[in-house]
């Protein structure tokens, strides 16, 4: 059985969970706005026997210190600091939702930061900060907090709106627990960090092996949009998981892990 252990970097800035040999090929998971490092426990358990599998608590989540001014750019800078702190050289980066945006930003700024990337249920753009759709999106998610709701009270409905057909019960429970534990200030800050993000013009410059992974029932990162996104990335592989909503790694962990496994099998052999 794979041992999943919590850790904190020596400077105390970042918390993370890790499984697998310290000298293994690094495989780093980045969660979404309603997630946490522990949201990737099904993946750490699946891949920890063969990789140095690491799940990062983004700044402001778990034991990771918050950023003064969160944005996709400052989160990407924090990711670079985290990889340096844990000694993860040219890892495979797996980014879900906003985590996928952070991966895109990191690769755009430092093309050799990763040996391969997985962009799971994410987008290359959120659009202009003053757009009506963008404002409505933020208001729909932050508005209930303004009216006295809490992350704990909202978690069941927020998660229910995100998942697709027949989600795994244990994964669903973990998704609700992660969502309920997100600090309200972090949730608000991360929602606003989306505003203005647009890396569509950078997709053609992604030079590492890339898997673009969607769910057919995902309304946050719709499959047709993700298929189009994959078409702009040189030699990207595109996989759509049927019946899956926005939380594939928790909803259908076996299907999600199998898609990753198939992609990893195509990568050039390397040593840590």
- Domains of the chain, by residue range, sit at 5-264
Whole-angstrom distance, CA of residue 84 vs CA of residue 78: 10
Query: Is the pLDDT at 103 greater than 80, yes or no?
Result: yes
- Return the CATH number of the domain spanning residue range 5-264: 3.40.50.1820
pTM of the model: 0.96
**How far, in whole angstroms, is CA 72 from its chain's centroid?**
12
Query: Is the pLDDT at 128 greater than 80, yes or no?
Result: no
User: Would you place residue 149 in the very low, low, confident or very high pLDDT band (cuts 50, 70, 90)?
Assistant: very high
Question: For position 195, what pLDDT does the model report?
Answer: 87
For 49-65, the pLDDT digits (tens) are 999 999 999 999 999 99
For 192-213, the pLDDT digits (tens) are 899 889 999 999 999 999 999 9
Q: How many residues does the chain have?
A: 272
What does each C-alpha distance from 160 to 36, 52, 167, 190, 239 come to in angstroms?
Answer: 17, 32, 10, 20, 23
Query: What average pLDDT score do residues 228-239 get?
Result: 97
Query: Is the pLDDT at 140 greater than 90, yes or no?
Result: no
For 29-50, the pLDDT digits (tens) are 999 999 999 999 999 999 999 9
User: Would you place residue 130 in the very low, low, confident or very high pLDDT band (cuts 50, 70, 90)?
Assistant: low
Query: Would you put residue 127 in left (φ > 0), alpha (ψ -120 to 50) or beta?
Result: left
Query: Is the pLDDT at 93 greater than 70, yes or no?
Result: yes
Query: Is the pLDDT at 76 greater than 90, yes or no?
Result: yes
User: Would you place residue 129 in the very low, low, confident or very high pLDDT band (cuts 50, 70, 90)?
Assistant: low
Cβ atoms of 212 and 233 within 8 Å: the answer is: yes
For the chain, percent of residues with pLDDT exceeding 90? 89
Average pLDDT, the chain: 95
Higher pLDDT, 147 or 272: 147
Write the CB contacts of 76 (distance below 8 Å, at least 6 apart in sequence).
102, 105, 106, 109
Cβ atoms of 105 and 75 within 8 Å: the answer is: yes
């Amino acid at each position: 059985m794979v041992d999943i252990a919590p850790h904190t970097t020596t400077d105390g800035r970042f918390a993370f969970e890790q499984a697998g040999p310290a000298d293994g090929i690094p495989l780093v998971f980045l969660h979404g706005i309603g997630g946490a490092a522990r949201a990737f426990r099904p993946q750490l358990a699946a891949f920890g026997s063969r990789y140095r599998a690491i799940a990062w608590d983004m700044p402001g989540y778990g034991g990771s210190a918050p950023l003064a001014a969160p944005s996709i750019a400052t989160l990407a800078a924090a990711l670079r600091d985290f990889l340096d702190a844990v000694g993860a050289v040219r890892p495979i980066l797996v980014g879900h939702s906003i985590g996928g945006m952070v991966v895109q930003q990191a690769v755009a700024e430092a093309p050799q930061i990763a040996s391969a990337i997985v962009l799971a249920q994410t987008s290359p753009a959120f659009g202009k900060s003053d757009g009506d759709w963008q404002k409505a999106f933020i208001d729909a998610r932050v508005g209930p907090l303004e009216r006295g709701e809490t992350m704990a009270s909202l978690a069941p409905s927020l998660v229910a709106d995100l998942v697709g057909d027949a989600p795994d019960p244990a994964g669903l429970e973990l998704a609700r627990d992660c969502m309920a534990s997100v600090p309200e200030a972090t949730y608000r800050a991360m929602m606003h960090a989306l505003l203005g993000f647009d890396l569509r013009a950078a997709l053609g410059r992604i030079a590492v092996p890339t898997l673009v992974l969607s769910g057919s029932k995902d309304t946050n990162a719709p499959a047709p949009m993700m298929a189009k996104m994959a078409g702009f990335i040189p030699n990207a592989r595109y996989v759509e998981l049927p019946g899956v909503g926005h939380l594939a790694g928790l909803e259908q962990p076996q299907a999600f892990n199998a898609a990753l496994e198939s992609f990893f099998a195509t990568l050039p052999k390397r040593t840590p």
